Structure 1
Amino acid sequence: MTTRINAVPHAVPAEEAAVPFADCHISTEAQTAALRVLRSGWVTTGREVAAFESEFATSVGAECAVAVSSCTQGIELALRSLGLPPGSLVLSSTMTFCGAVQAIVHAGLQPVLVDVDPVTGMPTRSTVRNAVRSFGPPAAMTLVHWAGDVADVPGLADAAELPLDRVVVDAAHALGTYAGSTPIGSGCGATCFSFYATKNLPLGEGGMVTTDDPARAEWLRKARLHGMTADAWRRYLPGGGWRYNVAEAGLKANMTDLQAAMGRAQLAHLPSWQRRRAQIAARYDDQLAGLPGVRLPHRPDPGTGTHAWHLYPIRVQLNGGIDRDEVIACLSERAIGTSVHFIPVHRLAYFSQAALIPSMGLPGADVLFEQLLSLPIYPRLTDRQIDAVCTAIADLAHQGLTGKGTE
């Protein structure tokens, strides 16, 4: 006998008949800024990038910020800046986007996948120590503040016996996350942010690396443009010289002035957008708490930090184990978009060979993955849309509890 959930008929107002999973909102000010740059005659890396770097660094309390083409490239560059021997071991959570582990591979290093706590979705001291026991001391580690929650960066670095400057923080989800009262982004190591279309500061593409080490920042600025000692903007300024040198291998990973001008304008809206994300999370909490088979996202303990609410990932196990994918299908029939973050890296064919995986497997990530469901969360999501999502989940939860739809 197979247990199934039936889609429940639901009348939704025409103007809100669909609830998309994501929304890339480019503000009017950002559109105006983009037009200004397009009319300026200079659209690649230049004054706007320099200004965006300065303003972004201030916003997260960092000494330096280096704009790059993506968070993935930022992670690779940050790892390359450590000057590690080829093949050095780098720890990474398996519950992350594949690009974060690709960055380790492309930096010429060996990824070692670490299991996660199925409640927080992030590694623990114990899972880090298990990985170290399995493969030996790592040379570095990448850590993701998953969903916008707060990772224990000092504690996990200590478990790996690594200094903090050997930790590359993946803050793709964490613009707006605070550890205690400190925004994620400051420190002597490197923190990498994403401006992908779905992120808290959406530009479509782009990233930023922040650090409190000026020498590391200068290395990153050269490495993002082939390792050249002078970029085109400085060479083409009146009085600029055409000569340059290349001291070491670099990448093509620079940000354009077009993106940066948009980023500066979007950054002004970030505080209000973050307040709205917190309101949405609270509204979800109020309506989903206590539903049978639904677990709310983990969040920092009071006083330990602030969640950025890039994602709102619930765990569903309706009626003791109804398939998560069937829940997704039923929500889709109500025109409600959802997603799953992420397929654990060790379940992806390439990384099952390219990464080192402990012999005991990664059971915490496997348990979490089967239940994960990310709900829509973005500033323009309306209360009515939130209520529609919650009503649909409540209907499915109670239907699963009572066994309706079984055959």
Structure 2
Amino acid sequence: MSSAGQSTVPFTIPSVSGEVSDAVVKVLDSGWITTGPQTAAFEQEFADYLGAAHVVAVASCTTALELCLRGLELPPGSAVLTPSLTFCGAINAILHAGHRPVLVDIDEDTLVPSPETVAAAAARVKPAAMIVQNQGGYPVDVAALAEAAGLDRTRVVEDAAHGPGAARGGKPVGAESFAACFSFYATKNMPIGEGGAIATSDEGLQEKVRAMRLHGMSKDSWKRYLPGGSWRYDVKQVGLKANMTDVQASIGRAQLAALPEWQRRRAEIVAAYDAAFRDLPGLTLPQRNLGGIQHAWHLYQVRVPDRDAISAELEAAGVSTSVHFIPANQMTSYRDILGADECARVPVTDRVGEELLSLPLYPGLTPDGQDRVIAALTEALRTRS
């Protein structure tokens, strides 16, 4: 309980469609619960939602990133550009694929790399590939960043973990991507609990990652055990155990149907935050929807002075917050791997990273809960003005 005797406003609560329970029961009763017809149906429906040519469902966004990097068949130890303001899983995917992360600084207005920061990083090395991230749901300009890196689009992997619902120029994130990787983790806009997907316009890449998600086997168990199927299979390229199950896929199909309404609700909450915070001193609001950009609003990230103390004050007032993200260059393991010189290459990330604070933003956030968030942050900042 907070000091006022009220229950805490959680940072997030997963949204669950009313159709999920029935969908899961049907799968459990079907006699087939691993990768099979539900997974295939979910892949097609998510591809239709995005307007993508192909979707391959996998175990997580992290494994999606690794599978795509493996699918590029780069020489071992290749330099892969990545923002440092990212989740550790994205850095791990580069390392697990056998490559070397090269850190890229951000633009402080958008919280994503700019063509200038990408070009500066590319000038230090000759990158073989790049991971770009839609931070908080802000859709990056993939073409501009690829050009700045001197890379063909077929060497760019999009971390779209925050991307469902985002669009640029009227095209959803993932619609025309060579490789866009999505997350269905419990906190995401379309939560399954765990799970991910790869959207690609490339037939060859989808064939590779489809095989590699199941050890590199030429046929999954559904194809082997169908009437008339054969137990015989081949392994042409070493893969991972990274498939999605039909239980997960059935949840995903129900959640996908509810996603548009959830996105509408997120936009309502963001509009209320914007109106309340617009003139609040000491506060920098999140990236704006400008120039044909449709933000997915996975996160409402503000920048505040004295961030850690303000976060503690909000917690005492019964409002939970989070930070996205602790920059990778500040993590012990990555500092050991990359070295101090590389980790010093992202000064804007280091400065902005100390100011970022993510406020509660989820479809189930009540008007009363949002009022409490607004009141708590307003009070914390006014005592500092």
Assess same fold via TM > 0.5: yes
The residue aligned with 2:244 is 255
Matches within 5 A, 1:189-200: 189-200=178-189
The residue aligned with 1:280 is 269
Who wins on radius of gyration, i.e. which is larger? 1
The residue aligned with 2:70 is 80
Asked if 1:236 corresponds to 2:225, the answer is yes
The residue aligned with 2:320 is 337
| Cα separation, 2, equivalents of 1:169 and 1:55 | 20
The residue aligned with 2:348 is 364
Asked if 1:306 corresponds to 2:294, the answer is yes
| Cα separation, 1, equivalents of 2:314 and 2:209 | 44
What letter is aligned with 1:115?
A: D
What letter is aligned with 2:312?
A: A
| Correspondence for 2:11 among 7, 21, 26 | 21
| Cα separation, 1, equivalents of 2:210 and 2:238 | 13
Listed one character per residue, the Cα deviations across residues 330-388 of structure 1 (whole Å, up to 9, x for unaligned) are 11111211000000000001111323754752111011111100000000101111111
What displacement does 1:208 show? 0.4
| Cα separation, 2, equivalents of 1:47 and 1:150 | 31
Any unmatched runs of 5+ in structure 1? Answer: 1-8, 318-322, 402-407
User: 2:94, 2:101 within 8 Å by CA — same for their partners in 1?
Assistant: yes
User: 1:118, 1:367 within 8 Å by CA — same for their partners in 2?
Assistant: no
The residue aligned with 2:116 is 126
What letter is aligned with 2:228?
A: G
Please give the TM-score of this superposition, normalised by the length of structure 1: 0.92
| Cα separation, 2, equivalents of 1:254 and 1:118 | 37
Secondary structure of 2:384's counterpart equals helix
Asked if 1:97 corresponds to 2:81, the answer is no
User: 2:329, 2:343 within 8 Å by CA — same for their partners in 1?
Assistant: no
| Cα separation, 1, equivalents of 2:43 and 2:161 | 16
What displacement does 1:11 show? 4.2
Matches within 5 A, 1:201-220: 201-220=190-209
The residue aligned with 2:26 is 36
Runs of 4+ with >6 A deviation: none
The residue aligned with 1:225 is 214
Asked if 1:51 corresponds to 2:41, the answer is yes
Please give the TM-score of this superposition, normalised by the length of structure 2: 0.97
The percentage of aligned residue pairs carrying the same residue is: 50
Asked if 1:389 corresponds to 2:373, the answer is yes
| Cα separation, 1, equivalents of 2:157 and 2:314 | 37
Secondary structure of 1:294's counterpart equals coil
User: What is the RMSD of the two structures over their aligned residues, measured on CA atoms?
Assistant: 1.3
What displacement does 1:26 show? 2.1
Asked if 1:112 corresponds to 2:98, the answer is no
User: 1:169, 1:192 within 8 Å by CA — same for their partners in 2?
Assistant: yes
What letter is aligned with 1:350?
A: S
The residue aligned with 1:405 is none
| Cα separation, 2, equivalents of 1:51 and 1:397 | 49
What displacement does 1:187 show? 2.0
| Correspondence for 2:175 among 161, 165, 186 | 186
| Cα separation, 2, equivalents of 1:327 and 1:154 | 38
